[in-house]
Every structure is written in structure tokens, then in C-alpha cells.
Structure 1
Amino acid sequence: MALRLFPEWHSQDAIQLTWPHPDSDWGPTLACIEATLDAMVVAITRYQSVLITVADPATRERLASSFSRRGVPEERLRLVVAASNDTWARDHGPIGVEQDGQVVLRDFTFTGWGDKFPAEHDNRLSQRLAAQGVFSAPLDTRSLVLEGGAIESDGQGTLLTTEACLLNPNRNPHLDRAAVEAELASSLGATRVLWLANGHLEGDDTDSHIDTLARFCDPHTIAYVHCDDPQDPHYPALDAMRGELEALRQADGTPYRLVALPWPAPCFDPDDGHRLPATYANFLIINGAVLVPTYADAADMRALSALADAFPGRDIIPIDCRSVIRQHGSLHCLTMQLPLGSLAGVSHSAEGSS
């Protein structure tokens, strides 16, 4: 059986978002996070469609009216009512694979990052969307506990991940490293798994998701978080991670091209002062563009420049994500890409390649 996990730069039908609601942890900062999501939707719909799950019909009507006034094309906006716990579509959204030449959406089990947070609605969200006819590709539900932010694909059989997440006993305690690799092979077509033993951001609830630390930009290039401040408590682990990345090899034995992303000044929660996980690695690749989280920091422009070099030919779009890190994620965590051929009713004229 021919099977592979699409890379993020594969042509997309849409970006999936799960809209926050007042009863979630976003309640106290709802206006701020909605403003960030508004900016994301306006930016993304310049290039492709957006699928938004909302909690109730009233929110659906409000958003439809608001985005219409802002010039978002009606045909590029899909609003669907379904219950959710939180907004992190990267981790509860379906993961697109190519199986025998067809698109299939894998629906893995989501447990709120190892039962840290309620997730019963989020875990059923993909099935509820499928039941409403949202997807044109089949939805294949799996018992493996796996979040989209935990894995990176080069589109050629190589996965990049962290030991701290995928080998954590709070996910699949019955599986050792070999068994996890076997599951990734059978579910996602992984022929190689590259494991990072180091790297973590303070304030991160995910047990070191790879999408906060190191990302494939193409099959030969990895962008990574580089801490250049030896006095920062992150420095030892991130410097060790840099060494691990330098030692990695492509399938043909050549080293990867590594793109160092700058280290923003520490961001702290305004209420209790704990450190927040600001990272430029949490960018989002869409058709023809890359959305990059920014933090009103002096390093923002250097991050944008580094990613412009890593993604020639794509527009680079900054999105202020200071509101997002208040809940310990960033831009990429809010999103899930739906590959070309997976969303019902979409005209398949998207740009991009695999």
C-alpha cells in the first residue's frame, strides 16, 4: 500500500480553525483572540478557503456578517456549528495522508495533551464535521493518541518529532519507541523517524511539540528555534537540540540545511507573571504564503527575513500572536491544513506543490 503523510506545503483546500467561545479558557480575553483570528482569516482567504467551527448558530451569523463587511469572499468561508472545548485545531483536527493515490483524513485520539485539559468535544469534532458532510475525503478514526503539532513531515517518508511528547507515558503508555515507530509507519507511511531528545519552552503544555521547536520548510531544510542568550534558562536544552539537528541526515546521507530562527525577548503573563512560550517556529504554510507569529519584539523582523529566505516565492505575512501565547500556544497551533481534495464543495484550483 502506497502511503505518505502530506507535507504542509502540499496544495491545500482550506485551513481549519476552531473559534473560541465564552465558556472556554479564552473567556476573559475573548475580544483579543478574536481580533487575532480575524486577521488570520482575512490573510488566509486572500489565498484559499477557511473552514471555521463555531459553537452556535448566532456566532456563525455574526462571523458571516463580519467577514462579509471586511471583504472576505463568501465562497472562501465555511462556517459550521459543532461543539468544542478549545481552539487548538492543530491537535484535534484531522491529519491528511495520501493512500493509494487518494486523500484520506486520519482522525487520531485527542486527550487534551495527556489528560491535562477537558477534550471530549474536541476529540469528536472531526467525526461531527464528517457527519455534516464537510469532508469529501473519507475520515479514518484511529485509537492512537497523536496530535498534529507533535509531528513534522518532509512528504517523502521522514517524520521529525520529540521524545518528550511521543514517548511520554501520558499518551500511549503501552507503546515503546519501536511500537510508536510501527504505528507511525502504518498510519502515516513513515519510513524514518528522527527523534529529538532536547528542547522545551517554558509555558508549553504539550510536552514539547515539534512545531514549537523545529520545522521542515522543504525536504532539505529545517528551521529551528535558536537561543543565543547563555543566561536564559532555555539555553542548555536548545543548544543541545541545535547539536542534534546538525547531526541529522537526510535519507541520502547529506546534512539538512538549517535555518536559525531568532530568540524573542521573554514574554510574561500580565496577570501572574509566568513565562509564555513565544516562538517563531510556529509559522503556518498556506498556498502561496507563510503566516509568521510576531510578538512586538525587536527580533520579529529578523524572523520574517529568515523565513523569507527559507520560503522563496511565497509571501511572508506577520500575525501578532501576543494574544495567543496567553493560552500557551501560537499561530500554527490554532490551525490545521486540509489537503487538496479533502473539503467538500471546494473548487480545486489551489496553488502549491508536494
Structure 2
Amino acid sequence: MSNQRLPAEWEPQDAVLLTWPHKNSPWDWILDDVVELYEALVTVICDYADVIIAVPEEQLEEVRKRLEDMGAPLEYIHLYPCMSNDSWARDHGPLTVITPEGFKLLDFKFNGWGNKFPHDLDDQISRQLFSQNAFPCAQIESHDWVLEGGSIETDGEGTLLTTSSCLLNKNRNPELTKQDIEARLKSVFGVQKINWLDHGYLAGDDTDSHIDTLARLCPNNTIVYTACDDESDEHYAELKKMEAQLKTFTNAAGQPYRLLPLPWAGVVLGEESGERLPSTYANFLIINEAVLVPIYNLPMDEDALEVIAQAFPGYEIFGIPCSALIEQGGSLHCITMQIPEGVLWQIPDGTLELV
């Protein structure tokens, strides 16, 4: 049995990691809109946690000045020079586990979702940040296999949720069998049970069906999931199969889940491409006592916020307009990575929850 544990996202956090969009990235054509979204997001996160930002060196002072001018609390914002290909911190950022010796940043290989996109710079960001002491109370450990943070969900209590279409795709780790991957997941994240979701996809998604666009683990043994109620939609049959499979899942203790369906966003087309975008309300960000939910100026937005509120009683729920983000195929969870409490500063009583 593993002696380390990946905390659930709703456990206490020190910070949220972002990788800043820039003109030499795919965001160039809508850069102003996306930067404004990032600036607004930083100010909201700062009410609940610090923000670590990887930003091209030549833009450091510009970003700092823009945040200062809009009244962002700079004492909670930590800027570090890092070159990047893109901004999907969820997939190139570190996954932090608790071990008997303290916190460990797991730095997996990132290959641009199966070598679909440039990724050489993004694959170096975690180590660059570590070398600049961005994570002063943690060690780092590199792994020679591909894994993206958006492809897994854990409850911190022994259960992991993922999709077979992503983790078993031969564009990631062709030399590994399902049994190999299961053994590695159990070892590095300290889980006893893995629930493999075999159904569900979103048109326009480049990730081979990351779990964080389809189904999310929540407190109190709850799963919220993307549901489709439009029988004429191309997703209907597959998402119905996904829903049926979710109903069969149990956690590591053998308990069935409370399932909460999220509203279907319908057809959202790209402004430039005219192609269908993978708009989903499941790609929300959990921070200390708050949940930030992507919204798209659609009639279903309010219903989505209500479902998330049911899953997170006592949390503040915010809708964050994400129409610009979804143009590149991702949303709030995709551009962020939580950093657990104790990684930036020592926990006062010095205790870590290993189980």
C-alpha cells in the first residue's frame, strides 16, 4: 500500500497556479479578451488563496503593472519568469502529494495531449518554478510517463475517477498496459480503487475526453456530471451511457454515489472556426470555500450554478464568463492547478493527513 496521498481539490489550499497567455501562443487572435479574463480571475482567487503565475520574462513588469492598476492585491500574487507554449496549467502543472516526509510535487511528462500541439516549453514549467523556489515547502519528483491533471479526479480517500479513452490512449504511454497504469496510479496517488469511465465525449475536445469536462468528484460522496437531454444531439447516446455507468460506480468503501446532472449547454460554435466547442459546466475550479463555475451567456447558466451549489453546501458559488476560454477548447479548471496548504508555508501544527 502506498504511503503517499493526493488530496481532494476541496481540501485546504495555499495557492492556485496559472500560466499567463501571451502573443506567441494560440491565444494571439483573442489575446485581449483572454488577458482580461485572467486578470478578473486573479482578483477573485486572491480573496481565497494566493496566485502563482508563470509568465514570459519580458512580460513580467507589464503583467504586474496591469494587476496593480486594477487593484489586485500584489502581496498575494507571485510572478515567475517561464517560457510557455500555451496556458493549460492543469495539464502541465505539478500534482502535489502528501508523504511521510512532507509534500512532493509530481512532475509527469506532458506531450501536448498525444503530440497534437507544441509542448516542449510547457513540459519544463513545473521544474522551472521549483528552481525559482515557487514551492518552498515541497520537494519535486519527475516521472517518465505521460499524465495530465485534467485526466484524473480523486476524493482523497482512496478513490480515483478517470476515462479509458484518455489514459489508455496509445498516444500517451503506448508501452503501458491498463494494469501497468492502474499500478502506477495506485502507487503515486495512494488510491485503492480506480473507476474507469468508458463513455462520454465532447465535440471539439482535444484531450481525448478528460474527466474534468465530463464528471467531477465532490464532497459527501457526490459526482456532478455533464448530461444531455436533447435526443437529437450527437452527444445524447454516449452521455446517456456515461450516466448509466456512473450509476454503477462506488467509492473505495463500497458506497454508491449521489449523482447530480449538470444542464446541457447545447451547441456553441467557435467565433473564428465555426466549429462546435466543448462547452461544459463541469470544468469548475474549487478553491478555499468557493467554487468558480464557467458560464457562457446561456439560459442554462443559472441552472448550472444551482447544481454546483447543491454539490458544495456552504461554499460561495461564482459564475465566471468563459466564452473566450472555450474558443481554445478549455475552461476554468483547465487553466488552473491548485497548490495544497503547506506547500508555500509550513502548516502551523506541522501535521499532514496521510489517510
User: Do both share a fold (TM > 0.5)?
Assistant: yes
Q: CA deviation at 1:253?
A: 2.4
1:319 is aligned to 320
Structure 1 residue 76 and structure 2 residue 76: aligned? Answer: yes
CA distance in 2, matches of 1:174, 1:209: 21
- Separation (CA, whole Å) in 1 of partners of 2:131 and 2:253: 43
For 1:90 and 1:299, how far apart are their aligned partners in 2? 26
Deviation for aligned residue 1:219: 5.0
TM-score by length of 2: 0.95
Give the match's secondary structure for 1:323: helix
Aligned to 1:13: 14
Q: Using the TM superposition, give the Cα deviation of residue 346 of structure 1 relative to its aligned residue in structure 2, in angstroms.
A: 8.3
Q: Distance in 2 between matches of 1:186 and 1:7?
A: 16
Structure 1 residue aligned with 2:61: 61
Write the letter of the residue equivalent to 1:256. Y
Name the counterpart of 2:217.
Answer: 216
CA distance, structure 2, for counterparts of residue 348 and residue 26 of structure 1: 41
Shift of 1:347: 8.7
Q: Aligned partners of 2:28, 2:255: CA distance in 1, in Å?
A: 48
> Relative to structure 1, is the Cα distance of residues 19 and 348 closer, same or farther in structure 2, using a 3 angstrom cutoff?
farther
Aligned to 2:272: 271
What corresponds to 1:96 in structure 2? Answer: 96
The Cα shift of 1:264 comes to 1.0
Worse overlay, 234-243 or 244-253: 244-253
The equivalent of 1:122 in structure 2 is 122
Q: Point out the more displaced range, 242-251 or 277-286.
A: 242-251
- Which residues of 2 match residues 292-303 of structure 1 at below 5 A? 292-303=293-304
> What displacement does 1:101 show?
5.9
Equivalent-residue separation in structure 2 for 1:56 and 1:252 (angstroms): 48
Alpha carbons of structure 1 residues 25 and 348: separation in structure 2 relative to 1, 3 Å = farther
Question: What's the offset of the Cα at 1:328?
Answer: 0.6
Q: Distance in 1 between matches of 2:167 and 2:51?
A: 29
Give a deviation string over 1:142-190, Cα, whole Å, max 9, x none. 1120000000001011100000000000001111111100110121112
Aligned-partner residue type, residue 340 of structure 2: P
Contact kept in structure 2, 1:90 and 1:333, CA below 8 Å: yes
Check 1:252–1:347 CA distance in 2 against 1; reply closer, same or farther (3 A cut). closer
Counterpart of 2:84, as a letter, is S
3-state SS in 2 of match to 1:242: helix
Given that residues 2 and 101 in structure 1 are in contact (C-alpha distance below 8 angstroms), is that contact kept between their aligned partners in structure 2? no
Deviation at 1:69, TM superposition (A): 2.5
Q: Cα deviations across residues 295-354 of structure 1 (Å, max 9, x unaligned)?
A: 0000000000111111111110111000001101111000000111223x68979xxx99
**What secondary structure sits across from 1:175 in the alignment?**
coil
Conserved in 2, the CA contact under 8 Å of 1:217 and 1:223? yes
Residue 183 of structure 1 corresponds to 184
Superimposed CA distance per residue, residues 191-239 of structure 1 (whole angstroms, 9 cap, x where no aligned partner): 1110000000001000000000000111500000010111100001100
* 1:249 positional shift: 1.3
RMSD: 1.6
Residues 222-261 of structure 1: pairs in structure 2 closer than 5 A = 222-261=223-262
Which deviates further from its counterpart, 97-106 or 293-302? 97-106
Residues 1:333 and 2:334 are matched in the alignment: yes
CA separation of 1:131 and 1:314: change in aligned 2, threshold 3 A: same
Q: Give the TM-score, by structure 1 length.
A: 0.95
What's the CA shift for 1:133?
A: 1.3
Give the unaligned 5+ runs of structure 1.
none
2:113 counterpart residue number: 113
Identity %: 47
SS of the residue corresponding to residue 273 of structure 2 reads coil
Give the letter for the 1:223 counterpart: V
**1:133 maps to what in 2?**
133
CA distance in 2, matches of 1:37, 1:241: 32
Preserved contact between residue 155 and residue 219 of structure 1 (Cα < 8 Å): no
